Amino acid sequence: MAVVELGPERCDALLRFFAELPEGDLTFIKEEVTDPETVRSWAKDASPGGRWVSVDGDDVTGYAAVRPLPGWSDHVGELRLVVASSRRGSGLGRELAHRALVEAVASGLSKLVVEVVAEDGAALALFTDLGFTGEAVLRDHIRDRSGELRDLMVLAHHVSETWSGMDAVGIADELSAR
């Protein structure tokens, strides 16, 4: 298993990955990930941030992206993470999120945010371990595919405030090696 930057050669595999996600997972993805043009455009996007996939042979098993926000929030990146249900709990999400965090800091972003469904304890623990802290709880903010309203948590990683914590997860070493 390897984590690599998304390139055109991985787009078809990424489309298969998204097509195989459980219907409930698609509720919580902002972009139209089953649209081939959308996914192919990502491989051509040269903006700061980045997109990575975990690959196992010809299969994509996970996806991470950091999308810089525009305008007055251009110092902030939004992190997105999706892992195949069969690979959850294996550490793959942590590896992808770690890579995204390292690359985001290296690209000059000073704050990262991630949105997590409030009842997703595993995702909350993963991001908390990487130095993210709660910034907001948005009550009844998202509606799942069955119509149920759910709370959304916004977690943030303030690079300057969590630098000492970054040493603990190995990010400072990776940045120094660049």
pLDDT confidence band for 41 (50 / 70 / 90): confident
160 vs 110: CA distance, rounded Å: 7
For residue 177, name the pLDDT band (cuts at 50, 70, 90): low
Q: Calculate mean pLDDT across residues 25-35.
A: 79
Q: What is the pLDDT of residues 98-111, one digit of tens each?
A: 999 998 988 889 99
Phi, psi of 165 (to 5 degrees): -70, -30
| Mean pLDDT computed over every residue of the chain | 86
In this predicted structure, what is the pLDDT of residue 89? 84
Cβ burial, residue 92 (10 Å; 0-12/13-18/19+): buried
For position 61, what pLDDT does the model report?
Answer: 94
Which helix (DSSP H) or strand (DSSP E) does residue 117 occupy?
Answer: strand 111-117
Contact 169/128 with Cβ under 8 angstroms?
A: no
Percentage of residues in the chain having pLDDT higher than 90: 51
Sheet containing 2-5: order of strands:
2-5, 50-56, 59-68, 76-83, 111-117, 149-158, 133-143
pLDDT at res. 24: 73
Tens-digit pLDDT profile for residues 54-81: 999 999 999 999 999 999 999 999 999 9
The pLDDT tens digits of the residues spanning 79-94 come to 999 999 889 888 899 9
In the predicted structure, residue 46 carries a pLDDT above the cut 80: no
Pairing label, strands 76-83, 111-117:
parallel
Q: Which residues contact 61 (CB under 8 A, 6 or more apart)?
A: 1, 17, 54, 55, 83, 84, 86, 87, 92
